[in-house]
Amino acid sequence: MSLSVALLTMATAVSDANNTATDLVDLDNVIVSGSRSSERVATIPASIDVLDQQTIEESLKVSPEIQQLLSIKVPGFSPAKASTSNSGLKLRGRNALILIDGVPQSTPLRNGALGVRTIDAAALQRIEVVKGSSSLYGHGASGGLVNYITKQPAPDAAFSGDIGLSTRFSAVEFEDSLSKRIDSTVSGTVGQFSYLVSGAYDSYGEQKDADGDTLGLVYGLSDLDTQNLLTKLGWAFDEQQRIQLSYNYFDSQQDTNLIDQTGSYDEGRKTIAVDNSTGTARPGDPQGPKDNYNLMLKYSHDEIFANTSLSVDAYQQRIKNIFFFSTALANPDEGYSGGQSLIKSEKQGLRTDLSTLIRVGEFENRITYGVDYLQDVSSQPLVDGRIWVPEMDMTNAAAYLQNNLNWNDEWMIKAGVRYQQTDIEVDDYNTLKLCRDASTCSTPFAVKGGELDYDLTTYNLGIRYTANPLFSPFINYSEGYDISDLGRLLRSATVTDLADVETEASKVEHLEIGASSDVGNLHLEFAVYQSTSTLGTSTVEDPSSGVYLPVREPQDIIGAEMLADYRFSSGTVVGMTYSHIRGENPDTNDPLSNRFISPDKMTAFVDWPVNHAITVNADMTHIGERNEFDPNDQGKYANYEGPIKGYQLVNARITYQASDWQVYSGIENLLNEDYFPVASQTLTTNASYYTEGAGRTIVLGSRWQF
């Protein structure tokens, strides 16, 4: 059982006036699909976090950003920055694969770290976080996976839904900071037909820090308009078989007239956004996801034959994420003063899952098995037509088998294997000439393309004792792999033949030991883990060109996570979590950089149901310090190696519920902490990223259910 189950249980206490103790979600019985089969969280021999719909809705009362929710609620996630990018957001020191209903949103062939912001939180029913290496959905999940499970049509009403209105603004500097948000969901079931339509529109004003200055624009949220539309149409042929068509559209573009006033990491001067008084138009196109969509057709049969269920998903996806304008993409010889890159990815795939239940005496055995097919064509061109990363055409075919053995309701033994064949084709291409200034440029050259083939087999094995809630220990071993951000390797190639580029897949082995305990109203959890890989992915700057080159190095990461909470008879819940992580290169004993390893993180929370109508919540996040590296002779730190200064953030909210209508107010950064997020402190050589976090921000809103 995951370390944040108690936190989620706490969140369910924040309920409307009609809630009673029986309305609270028993998370021991939450069914998760992250393992490709239905399971009870309490029996899984691994760390699983399930953030339910009410937890998501409560987070919207402070911030609509999902990465903020994951960072606060999920031990093991590194501290987040309110940003359009999830760069620096690691799960146990490694990348997490982001999915919507099992469809990959991440672009691991060219990891632009934009996968978290691919859907609005209002469209979600729950979020499932599977910690530790996993190959269940292919490569890219070396640290685990995050599966966004979208809302389902209401089964017991022909027409029902809700509508929410809210606004956010800076309590430090109100001018130009007003944000506007509306979201609504309607759904129902009429006979054999079901439907759901969920839409959200969120228009950000300028985001202000603790001094009232507007935050820098690189990956920023200022002047950002987000639109999300989720639609589902379903038909039940009978009680056992159904078909459903789903479509999700997401667009989030920053269109602003502001420009950055660049600061300096070495001088401790922050980057802020200011009015454009240069007399020339702001360069570049609006940044952010543009017209992205997911389309899925799902067929399911509860008993296709004896004791066996079937699920088949066919899907198509298009991603187009536009980055900020950068002078680092300049080429004066060709008349380019800079440029904007964009990640393009088109995926289509088919997933089949069969699950067979076999009972023999004291043993209940569930075998889940199936095959997957995925084609992913990804590239990273520039908006002006130059090619930075050529098209990478990947074909994935895989077969997997998972076996869950329940022995007398006392032991759960889980074992699985997945075999995957991956083929990637890359045409001949030329590296791009890029200039930091007129005299510091990379040298372009031709690279011969070709085909890369990977045959990968990964295993997992876990055991959990489930008979006694006073002490329920588990041990879990799992494997995953990464094809190591191939696009970054190609754009920084130093050889003239693809066959000579070091493209070997990185296999990650993850070992975890943990336990949970329930003693009366006290809940405790603890887990320790080790994650090792012989080939990681890092980068080092080439001082002659300013280009970041890939470095392959072994990585050994260890960590611990703890949770404790107590529920009083009045319904008030208090608790805390703690996460610790360390990492090193085992060949050199050098610590891993801040790109992978974050400082210690502690959270504390309280939920207080004041009366039948009013609920008050507060949470605190403490980020520790990390100082593992020495500066050079000039007193400057290498990228990702600067000291991290700690900080504390407090959020609070109050909700008044009257029947089907509620009003609420939330405060982000209640104490107006003046701080730089961890992600801002890691990139020491790029001042554009050196922005502070948001200052005290007020949220006012209401929601009506019908």
Q: What is the pLDDT of residues 74-128, one digit of tens each?
A: 999 999 888 888 888 899 999 899 999 998 898 888 988 888 999 999 999 999 9
> In sequence order, what are the beta bridge partners of 459?
417
- CA-nearest of 687, 684, 583 to 634 is 684
| Rounded CA separation 671/60 (Å) | 19
pLDDT for the residue numbered 680? 93
Q: How confident is the model at residue 543 (pLDDT cuts 50, 70, 90)?
A: low
pLDDT for the residue numbered 541? 57
Amino acid at 497: D
- By mean pLDDT, which of 452-466, 523-537, 607-621 is the weakest? 523-537
Is the pLDDT at 22 greater than 90? The verdict is no
pLDDT for the residue numbered 436? 78
DSSP state of 543: T
- Domains of the chain: which residue ranges? 5-705
Is the pLDDT at 662 greater than 70? The verdict is yes
**Which residue has tokens 């759904």?**
187
As to burial, measured by CB atoms within 10 angstroms (0-12 exposed, 13-18 middle, 19+ buried), residue 190 is exposed
The CA-based angle 77-83-84, given to 5 degrees, is 105
Region 387-393 average pLDDT: 96
Q: How confident is the model at residue 11 (pLDDT cuts 50, 70, 90)?
A: very low
Is 486 or 618 the better-scoring residue by pLDDT? 618
> In sequence order, what are the beta bridge partners of 170?
697
| Rounded CA separation 523/469 (Å) | 10
Residue 620 Cα to chain centre, angstroms: 21
- CA-nearest of 446, 437, 445, 631 to 543 is 437
Is 545 or 686 the better-scoring residue by pLDDT? 686
| Pairing assessment for the beta strands 647-658 and 48-52 based on DSSP bridges | unpaired
Is 491 or 439 the better-scoring residue by pLDDT? 491
Q: How confident is the model at residue 279 (pLDDT cuts 50, 70, 90)?
A: confident
pLDDT for the residue numbered 20? 33
pLDDT for the residue numbered 549? 58
| Rounded CA separation 312/293 (Å) | 20
Tens of pLDDT along 549-603? Answer: 566 789 999 999 999 999 999 999 999 999 999 999 999 999 999 999 999 999 9
Q: What is the mean pLDDT of the chain?
A: 90
Q: How confident is the model at residue 686 (pLDDT cuts 50, 70, 90)?
A: confident
- By mean pLDDT, which of 24-28, 496-500, 599-603 is the weakest? 24-28
pLDDT for the residue numbered 28? 55
pTM of the model: 0.92
In the numeric block, which tokens belong to residue 96? 């997490």
Tens of pLDDT along 282-291? Answer: 889 999 999 9
pLDDT for the residue numbered 140? 81
pLDDT for the residue numbered 544? 54
What crossing angle do the helices spanning 66-73 and 5-12 adopt, rounded to 10°? 120
Contact status, residue 668 vs residue 64, Cβ threshold 8 Å: no
298 three-state secondary structure: strand
In the numeric block, which tokens belong to residue 351? 């997933």
336 three-state secondary structure: strand
CA distances in angstroms from 598 to 8, 18, 80, 384, 422, listed in the order given: 24, 42, 11, 36, 32
Q: How confident is the model at residue 69 (pLDDT cuts 50, 70, 90)?
A: very high
pLDDT for the residue numbered 3? 38
Contact status, residue 682 vs residue 643, Cβ threshold 8 Å: no
pLDDT for the residue numbered 112? 85
Is the pLDDT at 12 greater than 90? The verdict is no
CATH topology of domain 5-705: Maltoporin; Chain A (2.40.170)
pLDDT > 70 fraction of the chain, expressed in percent and rounded: 93
pLDDT > 90 fraction of the chain, expressed in percent and rounded: 74
Is the pLDDT at 24 greater than 70? The verdict is no
Is the pLDDT at 692 greater than 70? The verdict is yes
Contact status, residue 443 vs residue 397, Cβ threshold 8 Å: no
- By mean pLDDT, which of 76-80, 217-221, 545-549, 644-648 is the weakest? 545-549
Element spanning 462, H or E: strand 450-465
Is the pLDDT at 265 greater than 80? The verdict is yes
- By mean pLDDT, which of 27-41, 52-66, 350-364 is the weakest? 27-41
Is 322 or 504 the better-scoring residue by pLDDT? 322
